[in-house]
Amino acid sequence: MNQTPPPINATKQMKKLMADHFLGLDRAKKQGSPKVAWCTSVGPAELLLAMGFEVYFPENHGALLGATRMATELIPAANAAGYSPDICSYLTSDVGAFLAGVTPLTKAYGIESVPKADVLAFNTNQCRDVQDWFDFYARHWKVPIVGVRTHRGVGEVKDCYVKDLAQQFKDMIPVLEQVSGNKFDIDRLRETVRLSKECTVRWRKVLEAAAQIPAPMTFFDYTIHMAPAVVLRGRQEAVDYYDLLLKEIEERIAAGISAVPGERIRLYWEGMPVWGRLRMLSELMSELKSAIVASTYCNSWIFEAFDEKEPFESMARAYTELFIVRDEDYKTRYIENWIKRFKIDGIIFHDAKTCPNNSNNRYALPQRLSRDLGVATVTINGDLNDLRCFSDEQAKTNIEALVEQILEQAA
């Protein structure tokens, strides 16, 4: 089928959910109740929800600053305040926006500012930047900050790591009780963990739908439809949303709808999205009849280990099993598995200038995968939010060269 695919109808519902999410946070901030907790994107959301907080995810705000192309102009304000241009550009664009008194939430939802935190909760499983980012706000508002410090470069997820992290989660409780005014209730935690697991199961199915040839959705769709898994996991709304989306995906597969009409090449995206260039890259991929069918990034919100029977231990395990936390051998095997299952022809590695944690081209992973699987790879230089680090022309030339190489190999 070679015509432009119809839009995904579920998007309307997702937009409504996101509007409700941000308006709910704004209301909580104005009323002073429920209390607002800031949480890192792969942080202890289940615990915060169980304690009765409205939960806000600044990385989601960072992505919005990138996608609306506000970030590049705002980063210098954070640099002037002492935050290096070389560190996470989510951090610098978010802090820059705060110092400049602007937010994309104003245009989108009529919200004046991001919700002031009553408490900030981080997990360093992804990087140290999140802690420094939250420290800025904790100092500014003089509010408590709590967090867990996760082991990094992990091969096997050992029981001793799980035990340590489970205890770190428990150690947060007294502060969370004091700020929220609510007593910790294990049954409420079991429920949010159960709902997060339900969300994960569905989100995985959504991602796995792209194993279908042709793929009914691509990376660019996933970067939009991942939002409920990021900001609403632990809540029934996210579960219902993915049921709705899955039903539509099944219909698209049955109707033979291809996200990239005339799909002839299947690619894997390794690294952060370039938020301000998603449209450009999506159009380029369509022109090249190449579908990006899988990515490490969108897979990062699959948390297999959640188990309501052992809420603390399973949270500890789920948040440590993530790709970003693991060693090079694990990462190699992980990508190999997706490459084989999704019948992928090539990999685009995005070397994001300000996020070494999500730039996996730097320790010979492309070379290992190329040698072991015969898969073509290319590295494009760029950034998640700082568009001064990204060249449309260079990215285009490199991706076109990758596609040519794949076509030549197949000829």
Interaction site with ligand SF4 (CB under 6 A): 59, 88, 90, 126-127, 129-130, 272, 355, 357-358, 384
Q: How far is the CB of 355 from ligand SF4 (least distance, A)?
A: 3
Measured from the CB atom, the residue of 86 and 159 that comes closer to ligand SF4 is 86
Amino acid at 228: P
Measured from the CB atom, the residue of 127 and 395 that comes closer to ligand SF4 is 127
Give CA–CA dist 195/209, Å, rounded. 21
* 283 CB-near residues (< 8 Å, 6+ apart): none
Q: How far is the CB of 200 from ligand SF4 (least distance, A)?
A: 20
SS (H, E, C) 299-312: HCCCCCCCCCCCHH
Q: How far is the CB of 66 from ligand SF4 (least distance, A)?
A: 10
Q: Crossing angle of helices 129-141/89-100, nearest 10°?
A: 20
Q: How far is the CB of 272 from ligand SF4 (least distance, A)?
A: 6
Q: How far is the CB of 180 from ligand SF4 (least distance, A)?
A: 25
Nearest partner of 272 among 234, 235, 324, judged by Cα: 324
Q: How far is the CB of 297 from ligand SF4 (least distance, A)?
A: 10
Measured from the CB atom, the residue of 59 and 263 that comes closer to ligand SF4 is 59
Amino acid at 280: M
SS3 378: strand
Give CA–CA dist 278/282, Å, rounded. 6
Measured from the CB atom, the residue of 87 and 210 that comes closer to ligand SF4 is 87
Q: How far is the CB of 230 from ligand SF4 (least distance, A)?
A: 12
Give CA–CA dist 150/160, Å, rounded. 12
End-to-end CA distance of the chain: 23
Measured from the CB atom, the residue of 344 and 355 that comes closer to ligand SF4 is 355
Measured from the CB atom, the residue of 63 and 77 that comes closer to ligand SF4 is 63
Beta bridge partners of 223: none
Measured from the CB atom, the residue of 26 and 59 that comes closer to ligand SF4 is 59
**402: which 2 tokens?**
């990758």
Nearest partner of 302 among 337, 277, 278, judged by Cα: 337
Nearest partner of 11 among 238, 240, 245, 275, judged by Cα: 245
Measured from the CB atom, the residue of 59 and 321 that comes closer to ligand SF4 is 59
Q: How far is the CB of 138 from ligand SF4 (least distance, A)?
A: 16
What element of type H or E holds 36?
A: strand 36-39
Q: Where are the beta strands (DSSP E) in 289-372?
A: 290-295, 346-352
Q: How far is the CB of 24 from ligand SF4 (least distance, A)?
A: 24
**Residue-level length of the chain:** 411
Measured from the CB atom, the residue of 157 and 355 that comes closer to ligand SF4 is 355
Measured from the CB atom, the residue of 116 and 128 that comes closer to ligand SF4 is 128
Backbone angles phi, psi at 361, to 5 degrees: -90, -5
Buried residues in 110-140 as b, exposed as e (16+ CB within 10 A): ebeebbbbbbbbbbbbbbebbbebbebbbee
Q: How far is the CB of 90 from ligand SF4 (least distance, A)?
A: 4
